[in-house]
Structure 1
Amino acid sequence: MLKNLIPKLAGVENSQPQRHNRKKLWTIPFIIAITVTAILAILSLFTGVYDIRGQADGMEMFFITRVPRTIALMLTGAAMAMAGLVMQLITQNRLVEPTTTGTMEWSGLGLLFVYLLFPAPTLVLRMTGAIIFSFVGTMIFFVFLRKVKLRSSLVVPIIGMMLGAVISAFSTFIGLVFQVTQNIESWFVGSFSPVQIGRYEYLWIIILVTILIFIFADRLTLAGLGEDVATSLGVNYNRIILIGTGLISLAVGVVAAVIGNLPFLGLIVPNIVSMFRGDDLRSNLPWVCVLGMATIIVCDILSRIIIMPFEIPVSMILGTVGAVVFIAILLRQRRSKRRLR
């Protein structure tokens, strides 16, 4: 009798709620990823037309241009990849990121209005305008998604890109009417060539954004399960959505003001990470940051060596690679739906 009860009691004990075992971070693949990213950063430091080893002022130029550029690459890659990860989690859609929701276009509109109000705006003013407008634009997109029921996940990025196209056309019209288009021409083509000491330091704000996203990671993950589930688990859904949107807008606005438009980076990296690690924001965040850095460094190195001594804007390479990944994700989703049928 007692022998029969022991397994049952053990089964009862094992059925009690247990603490969730998170995936280990410091695994061999993650250490390899960090090592590869560090090697790419070193390559970036020594890639360029100017001969830093053969010129008298080589070391001075190294710290004025090469080091700031590499730091900017790493911070920007982490920021855009994180923004894509959070947006995909909140909208429950793999195809959403700042480019496919119109967030970047709203940032450009914010920059344009800053130039209209202030003829020679400082970088802080440009950042403020980009952050405010990107927040407003992202909230408009989220409100639209909540009000309209969509049958297909593919419709979500299509609507976002249509909204972005409308905002971009409006920005072009305003720029032509007030003759300020030339002031934001560099924004439309994201490039790291102008980065040097004194022109990238505000990107360090991204570290603060990363810390805040990590703090709110669990609540953002619950919000990604839907309003009903999040509310039943004690999460204030509307508040966490506002916080997530604010963090996204802060990261995108800083990048838009300092670097410019960088398409599809937030689409490529989070999808690759989620494909192998699932949808837990806290455990995926370090992976997304590291792979975002590696991706943009590779694209920037290619932009410097393809037609050396000239340079291709990194946004062109990102746009090409991102478009291919976007199509691949669509085809993958289509195949999975066919299998389910």
Structure 2
Amino acid sequence: MLKLRFLFPLTLILAVVSIFIGVGNVSLAGLLAGRSEDWLLLANSRLPRLISIVIAGASLSICGLILQCLSRNRFVSPTTAGLEDSARFGVLLALILLPASTGWVQTSFAALTTFAGAMCFMAILNTLKHRDTVFVPLVGMMFGNIINSITVFFALQFDLLQNINAWLQGDFSSVLSGRYETLFISIPALILAYVYAQRFVLAGMGEDFAVNLGVNYKRTMALGLVLVAIVTAVVIVTVGSIPFLGLIVPNLVALYLGDNLKLTLPHTAVVGALLVLICDITGRMVLYPYEISVSLIMGIIGSVVFLSMLLKRYRHG
């Protein structure tokens, strides 16, 4: 079911469909005839949106996979570890300290606070005497809610709450040429994740085990968290939050392919991109010509899957 030879053609078909869906009219006949309006809309809106969907879906899914590997917990993701909330706090700091900051500056602030949040989460994880599979993500969500409360408090003080709320909803409708290029930072991060996949697996087995096999545990953990922080920050600043994506996609892939990280990384990337693409197309078609944000659809799907996973884990001890 999750073979790449099936996933790639399906993703390609939906990508073509995505290009021709929307309020603005882009037709195959118009493109073949060289109509300037069609080509302008394709270049400035539809293609940037499609590229953003693919990169964001693949990136966040792999972030979830890396976090689950490093924490040895299948329920950990940027959503359930408080990293998306940490990224929003970084954006707020950028808006407060540098009101005229560009997207690159906001991304830098968000990456720093996301990395700090990831380090704090892992530190909290190490203090838990019983690292129960269900308890850990709940602790992470409480940690994220604390950060979110601090963010809202300072946003109210500086009259920036409306600006911060823009990063609460993952939405690709505002993606245009010239406003999405920061997402390309994710590509080298994903390549590094594939190169260091085996080391992440060893680091996830514990410090003693990793050191005995010649792996620098602290450096590998730091690299994994840096990659996750950069990718999460880039996606949050560019398109907003897409909840639970990094949770459900790695678990779905592992259900069919097991825990071989190098094997599952390409599948996780493709399935993540495909799922976000499906949600985006659905959001454009349900209330056409209006749109439903991807975060709303993904939040519904993700919360249902997350709860079902929790209940299944609870029933089976």
Same fold (TM over 0.5): yes
Whether 1:126 and 2:106 are equivalent positions in the alignment is yes
The 5 A counterparts of 1:70-81 are 70-81=50-61
Worse-matched range after superposition: 131-140 or 219-228: 219-228
Partner Cα separation in structure 1 for residue 205 and residue 198 of structure 2: 11
Q: Is the 8 A contact 2:21 2:281 kept in 1?
A: yes
Tell me the matched-pair count.
311
In structure 1, the partner of 2:295 is: 315
Whether 1:143 and 2:123 are equivalent positions in the alignment is yes
Whether 1:46 and 2:26 are equivalent positions in the alignment is no
Partner Cα separation in structure 1 for residue 206 and residue 311 of structure 2: 26
Counterpart of 2:4 in structure 1: which amino acid?
F
Counterpart of 1:196 in structure 2: which amino acid?
L
Q: Tell me: CA distance 1:28–1:318, structure 2 relative to 1, closer, same or farther (3 Å).
A: closer
Partner Cα separation in structure 2 for residue 30 and residue 136 of structure 1: 35
Measured after TM superposition, the shift of residue 121 of structure 1 is 1.1
Whether 1:302 and 2:276 are equivalent positions in the alignment is no
The 5 A counterparts of 1:66-215 are 66-215=46-195
Worse-matched range after superposition: 142-151 or 286-295: 142-151
Partner Cα separation in structure 2 for residue 46 and residue 323 of structure 1: 30
Counterpart of 1:74 in structure 2: which amino acid?
V
Measured after TM superposition, the shift of residue 289 of structure 1 is 0.4
Q: Is the 8 A contact 2:2 2:256 kept in 1?
A: no
Q: What TM-score comes out, normalization by structure 1 length?
A: 0.89
In structure 2, the partner of 1:293 is: 273
Counterpart of 1:68 in structure 2: which amino acid?
P
Secondary structure of 1:51's partner? coil
Partner Cα separation in structure 2 for residue 38 and residue 233 of structure 1: 41
Counterpart of 1:101 in structure 2: which amino acid?
A
Partner Cα separation in structure 1 for residue 231 and residue 103 of structure 2: 15
Counterpart of 1:44 in structure 2: which amino acid?
S
Measured after TM superposition, the shift of residue 185 of structure 1 is 2.2
Partner Cα separation in structure 2 for residue 56 and residue 49 of structure 1: 17
Measured after TM superposition, the shift of residue 137 of structure 1 is 0.3
Secondary structure of 1:311's partner? coil
Unpaired segments ≥5 residues, structure 2: none
Measured after TM superposition, the shift of residue 147 of structure 1 is 2.0
Measured after TM superposition, the shift of residue 28 of structure 1 is 8.8
In structure 2, the partner of 1:231 is: 211
In structure 2, the partner of 1:247 is: 227
Partner Cα separation in structure 1 for residue 228 and residue 2 of structure 2: 30
Q: Which is higher, the Rg of structure 1 or of structure 2?
A: 1
Partner Cα separation in structure 2 for residue 285 and residue 298 of structure 1: 20
Counterpart of 1:150 in structure 2: which amino acid?
H
Measured after TM superposition, the shift of residue 190 of structure 1 is 1.3
Measured after TM superposition, the shift of residue 219 of structure 1 is 0.4
Measured after TM superposition, the shift of residue 150 of structure 1 is 2.1
Whether 1:271 and 2:245 are equivalent positions in the alignment is no
- Aligned-pair identity in percent equals 39
Q: What TM-score comes out, normalization by structure 2 length?
A: 0.95
Secondary structure of 2:96's partner? helix
For 1:198-227, what per-residue CA distance to the aligned partner results, in whole angstroms no more than 9, with x for missing partners? 011111111101110111111001112222
Whether 1:30 and 2:30 are equivalent positions in the alignment is no
Measured after TM superposition, the shift of residue 268 of structure 1 is 1.0
Partner Cα separation in structure 1 for residue 277 and residue 291 of structure 2: 14
Counterpart of 1:97 in structure 2: which amino acid?
S
Counterpart of 1:39 in structure 2: which amino acid?
I
Measured after TM superposition, the shift of residue 247 of structure 1 is 0.4
Unpaired segments ≥5 residues, structure 1: 1-26
Counterpart of 2:273 in structure 1: which amino acid?
M
